[in-house]
C-alpha cells in the first residue's frame, strides 16, 4: 500500500483537503471555497491545481493510495452527490468519477457525516469500537452510524439521517424539509437560536443578557454559552431544553442499534456539561432497563476539520 | 451439512418447536406450555422428551445440524435469556448451554423478534433482501433489524427494541417500562384497546358497536376490525390513529437504516388496509425527500408460528 491517502471534506462553505499518512497524521492541508466556481468541473480543476503541488511534495501520485471524499448527500454506492441542498451543484453529480478522471487515482466518496464517523473509528475516541453513533451538532444535525465496525449505508446508501427523525411530533417547523419537530429543528445552531428567541418572548419579565444579543441578531450557541456561564437563567434553560430533547432522541437511537458509545461533536458541544448533563439525564430516563448506564456519551477528541479529512482519507484505506 | 435443523420459539404462553429441512419446510412440529414447569431444567427435560421421538423419526441426532432458539430477551452473544419479563424464570438463564448439554447438539439462541426476522430473510417475503426491518404488532411490539444481510445485535446483543422508542413524548404510560409515549403503548394489542377506550370516552355521543364489547371487556384488534368493516366510525378512527403513530415511527426507523422494506406481522396486520393505509400515509409524510416512495411496506407471508420456528432453525444454518 502506498504511504499516503488524500482526504477531502466538502462543506457548504469550505472544502478542506489534506494528505494523510498511515498513522492518521495530516501532513499538509489547505482549503478552498465550495460555491465560488461556475460549475463542478471548474471546482475540480481548482482542487487539482491546489492538490498537485502537495501530492508532488509527498512523492508524487505513485505514493498516493487514493482519494476519499466526504460530501453532503454523498452516496458511497454510486459515488454521486445527489440533490445536496447546501451546494450550488444541482441534481445528481457523478463526483467520484469526475475526480478520478482528473487525478487518475482511485476515488471513494460518502456523505460528510459518515466520513467523520470513519475518522472517529480509525483515529478518534471510537478507535477499536465496533458499535457507535456519531452526532454532529452544527449548522444542522448530522449522524454516522457504525455497526459491526462498518458504516451503515442502507439499501440505497442514504442511511443515517438521524437529524431528521421526529422527536416532537407536530412541533417546530424545519424549513429545509417541511417536517415538524425533527431533532435538527432543536439541536442545531439554528434550533438553539430559535429556542432562545422563544424563551425570551415567553418570559418578557425575566432579565437576560441574551436580550442585547437578540436585538442585534447575535444569538449563537457560543453567545448562549457565554451568558449561561455568567449564570443567566434563560441561557441555562436553553441548554436544559435542548439537552432534554437531544437526550430523548439519543435514547431512541440506542434502542435501535445498542451502541457502545455516542460521540458528539460540533459547535454545541463547546457548551460542555451545560448541554451534556441534561442530555445524559434525559437519555437515561428514556431507556428501558437493559440499556441503562451502559452507553458512553463522549465528545470527539479530533479537531472537527481534521475528523472529516481523516475520515475521508480512511475510505481508501479500508 | 446435516439434513435437518431444529427451531424452537419460546413465547410467554407457548413454546413451539419443529424440525426444518434445508428448503424451509417444517417436517413436524409440536408445542408445550412455557410456564407450566417448576424450573428451567424441568422445562428442558420435557422439551427433550417431546423432541427426541421427532429427531429419531428424522434419522437420529446425526442428521441434525443443531438447535436454534428464539426467546424473549434472548442474547445471541451469550446464549442467555436475561431478565425476561414474561417468563417465570428469573435472572440470567444460560439457556443455550443447558439445552446443548441435554441434547448434545450445537445450540444458538437469539431473541424471538430477531428469529422471526431471520425467518423472513431465509424463507419469507424478505428473501434476498439485505436491508429490512420486521415489526411484530402483537401483545407487544417487537422488531428485528437486518443490515447488510445480518441481524443487528449491537454492542451487547440487545439491539432492535423499536417498540420501546418514544414517538409521543409525555404520552401514554407504558406499564411494563414506565416510559411515556413509546410505540408499544399505541401499536400493540393493549395499545389498540386503550385507544378504543379513550375514543369511546371522549366521544360519549357517538354511537359505536364497540360500546357493547367495551362493557364486556371484549375489545381486541379483532373486534375493532369487525366493527370497522361494518362502517363503525370510532372503530375506523382507532385504526387511523394507530396507523398514524405507527407510520411516524416507521419513518424514523427508515431514516436510521434506510431499509428496502418493512415487514409487518402480528395480530394487528389482520386489519389489512384499514391499518396499512394510514400507516403508509403517515410514514411517507414524515420522510425527507430522498426516502419518499422507496420503502416497501409488506405483510409477512409466513404463518406467525412458522416464521419463528423457521427463523430459529436458520440460526444454525448460517
Among A152, A253, A255, whose Cβ lies nearest the Cβ of B147?
A: A152
Phi, psi for A10 (deg, rounded to 5) = -95, 115
CB B277 within 8 A of CB B186: no
**Residue A1: what pLDDT?**
57
Domain check: are B33 and B46 in the same one? yes
**Confidence class for position B1, pLDDT limits 50, 70, 90:** low
CA B309 from chain centre, in angstroms, equals 12
Q: Which of A1-5, A165-169, B210-214 has the highest mean pLDDT?
A: A165-169
Domain check: are B176 and B223 in the same one? yes
**Residue B139: what pLDDT?**
85
Please state, rounded to an integer, the average pLDDT across all residues of chain B.
93
**Residue A109: what pLDDT?**
97
Among B73, B179, B260, whose Cβ lies nearest the Cβ of A155?
A: B260
ipTM of the complex, rounded to two decimals: 0.93
CB-based contacts of A91: which residues, under 8 Å, 6+ apart?
A82, A83
CB B17 within 8 A of CB B29: yes
Looking at residue A179, the DSSP 8-state letter turns out to be -
Q: How many angstroms away from the CA of A279 is the closest CA of chain B? A: 15
- Taking residues A73-94, what's their average pLDDT? 90
Nearest chain A residue to B260 by CA distance is A155
Closest by alpha carbon to A148, among B146, B70, B258, B261? Answer: B146
Nearest chain A residue to B132 by CA distance is A155
Say whether pLDDT at B303 is over 90: no
Residue A75 lies in domain: 4-122+305-314
- Taking residues A249-258, what's their average pLDDT? 98
**Residue A176: what pLDDT?**
87
Say whether pLDDT at A292 is over 80: yes
C-alpha–C-alpha distance, residues A77 and B260, integer Å: 15
- Taking residues B213-219, what's their average pLDDT? 83
Number of structural domains, chain B?
2
**Residue A84: what pLDDT?**
83
Domain check: are A98 and A247 in the same one? no
Say whether pLDDT at A13 is over 90: no
Contact B251 A158 (CB under 8 A): no
**What is the CATH classification number for the domain harbouring B109?**
3.30.420.40
Contact A156 B294 (CB under 8 A): yes
Mutation test of the interface with chain B: which of A133, A143, A169, A177, choosing the one with the most B Cβ atoms within 10 A? A169
Please report, rounded to a whole number, the percentage of residues in chain B having pLDDT higher than 70.
99
Upper half-sphere CA count for residue B46 (Cβ side, 13 Å): 17
Contact B290 A260 (CB under 8 A): no
Contact B157 A258 (CB under 8 A): yes
pLDDT in tens, A207-226: 999 998 877 788 988 999 99
Task: Measure CA of the first residue to CA of the last residue in chain B; give whole Å.
Answer: 11
Domain check: are A103 and A204 in the same one? no
Domain check: are B173 and B292 in the same one? yes
- Taking residues A288-310, what's their average pLDDT? 89
**Confidence class for position B188, pLDDT limits 50, 70, 90:** very high
Contact A256 B179 (CB under 8 A): no
Contact B290 A83 (CB under 8 A): yes
Q: B241 vs B36, which has greater pLDDT? A: B241
Read off the C-alpha cell for B160.
Answer: 432492535
Domain check: are B171 and B297 in the same one? yes
Q: A63-102 burial string, b = 16+ CB within 10 Å, else e? A: ebbbbbbbbbbbbbebbbbbebeebebeeebebbebbbeb
Residues of B near A (Cβ–Cβ under 8 Å) read 73, 82-83, 130-131, 145, 147-148, 150, 152-162, 164-169, 177, 179, 248, 251-253, 255-260, 286, 288-291, 294
Among A154, A179, A256, whose Cβ lies nearest the Cβ of B286?
A: A179
- Taking residues B102-127, what's their average pLDDT? 94
Contact B286 A177 (CB under 8 A): no
Domain check: are B159 and B82 in the same one? no
Among B148, B159, B169, whose Cβ lies nearest the Cβ of A257?
A: B159
Domain check: are A140 and A278 in the same one? yes
- Taking residues B246-254, what's their average pLDDT? 98
Closest by alpha carbon to A152, among B261, B119, B254, B314? Answer: B254
Residues of A near B (Cβ–Cβ under 8 Å) read 73, 82-83, 130-131, 145, 147-148, 150, 152-162, 164-169, 177, 179, 248, 251-253, 255-260, 286, 288-291, 294
Closest by alpha carbon to B39, among B79, B89, B80, B101? Answer: B89
Closest by alpha carbon to A242, among A203, A170, A287, A193? Answer: A193
Give A181's contacts in chain B (Cβ within 8 Å). none
- Taking residues B148-176, what's their average pLDDT? 96
Domain check: are B84 and B168 in the same one? no
Among B73, B164, B169, whose Cβ lies nearest the Cβ of A248?
A: B169
pLDDT in tens, A191-202: 999 999 999 999
- Least confident span in A187-191, B87-91, B181-185: B87-91
**Residue B307: what pLDDT?**
84
Cα distances (Å, whole numbers) of residue B93 to B44, B50, B86, B99: 12, 21, 14, 11
Say whether pLDDT at A279 is over 90: yes
Domain check: are A102 and A209 in the same one? no
C-alpha–C-alpha distance, residues B214 and B210, integer Å: 6
Residues recorded for chain A: 318
C-alpha–C-alpha distance, residues A141 and A188, integer Å: 6
Please report, rounded to a whole number, the percentage of residues in chain B having pLDDT higher than 90.
80
> Model's pTM, two decimal places?
0.93
- Taking residues A276-304, what's their average pLDDT? 94
Read off the C-alpha cell for A59.
Answer: 512523492
- Taking residues B181-198, what's their average pLDDT? 96
pLDDT in tens, A89-145: 888 999 999 999 999 999 999 998 999 999 999 989 999 999 999 999 988 899 999
**Residue B169: what pLDDT?**
97
Domain check: are B145 and B61 in the same one? no
Q: A308 vs B146, which has greater pLDDT? A: B146
Nearest chain B residue to A252 by CA distance is B165
C-alpha–C-alpha distance, residues B110 and B117, integer Å: 11
Domain check: are A19 and A154 in the same one? no
C-alpha–C-alpha distance, residues B112 and B308, integer Å: 7
Amino acid at each position: 500500500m502506498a504511504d499516503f491517502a488524500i482526504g477531502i471534506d466538502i462543506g457548504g462553505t469550505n472544502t478542506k483537503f489534506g494528505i494523510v499518512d498511515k498513522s492518521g497524521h495530516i501532513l499538509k492541508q489547505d482549503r478552498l471555497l465550495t460555491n465560488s466556481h461556475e460549475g463542478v468541473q471548474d471546482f475540480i480543476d481548482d482542487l487539482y491545481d491546489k492538490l498537485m503541488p502537495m501530492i508532488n511534495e509527498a512523492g508524487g501520485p505513485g505514493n498516493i493510495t487514493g482519494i476519499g471524499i466526504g460530501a453532503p448527500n454523498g452516496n458511497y454506492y454510486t459515488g454521486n452527490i445527489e440533490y445536496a441542498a447546501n451546494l450550488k451543484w444541482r441534481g445528481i453529480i457523478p463526483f467520484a468519477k469526475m475526480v478520478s478522471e482528473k487525478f487518475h487515482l482511485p476515488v471513494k466518496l460518502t456523505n460528510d457525516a459518515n466520513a467523520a464517523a470513519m475518522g472517529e473509528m480509525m483515529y478518534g475516541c471510537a478507535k477499536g469500537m465496533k458499535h457507535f453513533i456519531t452526532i454532529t451538532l452544527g449548522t444542522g444535525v448530522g449522524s454516522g452510524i457504525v455497526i459491526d465496525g462498518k458504516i451503515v449505508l442502507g439499501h440505497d446508501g442514504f442511511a443515517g439521517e438521524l437529524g431528521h427523525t421526529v422527536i416532537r411530533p407536530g412541533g417546530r417547523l424545519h424549513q429545509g424539509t417541511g417536517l415538524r419537530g425533527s431533532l435538527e429543528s432543536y439541536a442545531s445552531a439554528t434550533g438553539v437560536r430559535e429556542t432562545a428567541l422563544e424563551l425570551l418572548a415567553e418570559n418578557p419579565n425575566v432579565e437576560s443578557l441574551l436580550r442585547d444579543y437578540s436585538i442585534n441578531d447575535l444569538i449563537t450557541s457560543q453567545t448562549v454559552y457565554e451568558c449561561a456561564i455568567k449564570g443567566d437563567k434563560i441561557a441555562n434553560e436553553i441548554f436544559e431544553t435542548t439537552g432534554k430533547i437531544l437526550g430523548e432522541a439519543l435514547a431512541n437511537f440506542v434502542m435501535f442499534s445498542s451502541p457502545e458509545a455516542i460521540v458528539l461533536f460540533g459547535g454545541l458541544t463547546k457548551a460542555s456539561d451545560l448541554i451534556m448533563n441534561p442530555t445524559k439525564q434525559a437519555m437515561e430516563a428514556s431507556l428501558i432497563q437493559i440499556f441503562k448506564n451502559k452507553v458512553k456519551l463522549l465528545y470527539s477528541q479530533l479537531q472537527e476539520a481534521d475528523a472529516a479529512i481523516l475520515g475521508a482519507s480512511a475510505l481508501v484505506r479500508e
